[in-house]
Every structure is written in C-alpha cells, then in structure tokens.
C-alpha cells in the first residue's frame, strides 16, 4: 500500500469515526427518556445519571462533581454503590478515578426495569 493510499484510508476512517460519534449522540438524545425510566432504580436523579456518563476512568471525583454540581464526596459514594451493589463501574486502583463498565443502552439491556414500561 502506498503512502497516498494509506493516508486516504486514514482519512476515511477518521470520517467514519466522526459519523459514528454523531450517530451515538443522536441515539443518546432519542433514548434518554426511556433510559431514565428504565434505570431509575439505579440512578435516583438526573445528576447521578449524568455523573455515570462522565465516569470515564480519567475524570476525578472533583471534576465530575463540578460538572454535575454535587460534592466530590457524593461522586465517590455513587462510585462505591455502582461498583459494590450494581457492578456497573470499577476502580482503576487506589485513589484513581472509576470507569463506567457499560454504555447507557447496555445498562438498559442488562439492568433495565421491565416493569417501568408497563407503568
């Protein structure tokens, strides 16, 4: 493969990745009401749900707390519950940020409250 072909392939992959990310954003907006309804037994508030989305293994409790407008202690408590009670997040080590293990659509499939769709 020539350098020109390789660069063309890289450009195409970057464009596909951009489109993929845009589609994920649109899908997230569309399914958000259903996600909130199905996962309200895990996430007690929109802030908690947003904090889970921001839990990427990189952001600290303080960073997420500022973004969600809750204390860093609240974030740390949520992380512990998500790890110990629901097994949906994991610690990356002592004093390290947690990482969400599932996307919200995956969580709905794994932990979605089926009864919510009837009521």
Fold annotation for 3-117: Arc Repressor Mutant, subunit A (1.10.10)
Domain boundaries, given as residue ranges, for the chain: 3-117
CA-CA distances (angstroms) from residue 87 to 8, 18, 73, 79? 42, 31, 19, 10
Looking at per-residue confidence, does 29 or 51 come out higher? 51
Over residues 70-104, the pLDDT tens digits come to 999 999 999 999 999 999 999 988 778 999 999 88
Residue 5: pLDDT band (50, 70, 90) is: very high
Handedness of CA 98, 101, 107, 113 (dihedral sign): negative
pLDDT of residue 112: 85
- pTM for this prediction: 0.74
Over residues 8-39, the pLDDT tens digits come to 999 999 999 999 999 988 887 888 888 889 99
């Amino acid at each position: 493969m020539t350098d020109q072909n390789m660069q063309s392939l890289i450009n195409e992959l970057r464009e596909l990745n951009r489109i993929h990310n845009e589609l994920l954003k649109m899908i997230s907006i569309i399914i958000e009401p259903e996600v909130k309804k199905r996962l309200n037994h895990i996430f007690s508030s929109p802030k908690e749900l947003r904090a889970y989305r921001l839990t990427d293994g990189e952001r600290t409790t303080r960073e997420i707390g500022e973004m969600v407008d809750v204390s860093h202690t609240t974030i740390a408590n949520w992380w512990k519950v998500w790890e110990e009670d629901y097994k949906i997040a994991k610690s990356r080590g002592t004093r390290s940020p947690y990482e969400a293990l599932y996307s919200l659509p995956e969580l709905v499939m794994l932990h979605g409250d089926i009864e919510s769709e009837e009521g």
